[in-house]
Amino acid sequence: EQDVADYRKSLAIRVSGFDVPRPLKMFEDCGFSAELMKAIAKQAYEKPTPIQCQALPIVLSGRDIIGIAKTGSGKTAAFVLPMIVHIMDQPELAKEEGPIGVVCAPTRELAHQIYVEAKKFAKPHGIRVSAVYGGMSKLDQFKELKAGCEIVVATPGRLIDMLKMKALTLLRATYLVLDEADRMFDLGFEPQIRSIVGQLRPDRQTLLFSATMPRKVEKLAREILTDPIRVTVGEVG
Ligand code: ADP
Ligand code: MG
């Protein structure tokens, strides 16, 4: 345990919560499928970044997480890779039952980046990813969602629009990611986030990532996460 403590200290990593799984050092230790390992190799990701080392075993074990780390630290793969595993673990269900993974991001640029990253790892497994954000035709988006998908990457406003249009339901969604939660709050998306969370099953897994943790985000985290483990990397938050 001392080596883990020294390692965390050297990278300014703070972890709190109970029964925290040991961090891992290599993607080979994640138990990923051959397809996922191939997709990781294709990205030239040699080894997990510090936030990935801490977050992957936590999320893969099914726990909720609050991840605080600055931009560029590799948070996207930290939630996308376990999301693929989570979806592959689900029993086959009718396609009209809606997405299993739901990712909310503050802007269309960010949502698009996550969509691109998610597709790289989803495609080899035949998992379908839909992007839902403003600037695209609502009718096209409606049709795409109606055709079915396992992952939705969305800005909160447009996702609410699509839910109102009954383009999808969140009845099957069991993996929720709130990415850049502080920015979503800055942009005034708190009511939309609460509405989306309210449509999700209470037994879902919830992941919240943020560069900072203002009091309002802290309060939301306390309300919507279950026994989360908090991981802070670097002098942030
Ligand atoms: P964040 O969300 O923390 O700002 P990103 O997930 O956007 O960071 O990742 C930043 C960059 O690092 C991206 O270009 C991504 O492809 C790359 N990256 C992610 N994980 C790894 C890794 N394990 N090894 C090398 N590069 C990585
Ligand atoms: Mg990010």
Query: Model confidence over 35-88: pLDDT tens digits?
Result: 999 999 999 999 999 999 999 999 999 999 999 998 899 999 999 999 999 999
Give the mean model confidence (pLDDT) for residues 22-39. 95
- Residue-wise pLDDT for 164-194, tens only, equals 999 999 999 999 999 999 999 999 999 999 9
d(CA 150, CA 146): 12
- Structure tokens given for 46: 């040699």
Q: Is 39 in the pocket of ligand 1 (CB under 6 A)?
A: no
Tally of structural domains, the chain: 1
Q: Is 77 in the pocket of ligand 1 (CB under 6 A)?
A: yes
**Is residue 159 a contact partner of residue 136, using CB atoms and an 8 Å limit?**
no
CATH label of the domain that carries residue 46: 3.40.50.300
Torsion of Cα atoms, 45 then 13 then 225 then 80, to 10°: 0
> What's the confidence (pLDDT) of residue 97?
79
> What's the confidence (pLDDT) of residue 178?
98
> What's the confidence (pLDDT) of residue 218?
96
Which protein residue has the closest C-alpha to ligand 1 atom 9?
74
- Minimum-distance ligand to the CA of 106? 2
| C-alpha to C-alpha distances, 153 to 16, 42, 77, 220, nearest whole angstrom | 28, 22, 14, 20
Q: Which domain holds residue 55?
A: 2-233
Pocket test for ligand 1, best of 25, 36, 45 (most atoms within 8 A of CB): 45
C-alpha angle 208-225-182 in degrees, rounded to nearest 5: 35
Which protein residue has the closest C-alpha to ligand 1 atom 20?
74
Q: Is 50 in the pocket of ligand 1 (CB under 6 A)?
A: no
Strand pairing partners for 103? 153, 177
> What's the confidence (pLDDT) of residue 221?
96
Torsion of Cα atoms, 18 then 23 then 28 then 34, to 10°: 40
Strand order from edge to edge, sheet including 13-16: 13-16, 229-233, 65-69, 205-210, 175-178, 101-104, 151-154, 129-132
ipTM over the 0.90 cut-off: yes
Ligand 1 center to 236 CA (angstroms)? 17
Q: Is 74 in the pocket of ligand 1 (CB under 6 A)?
A: yes
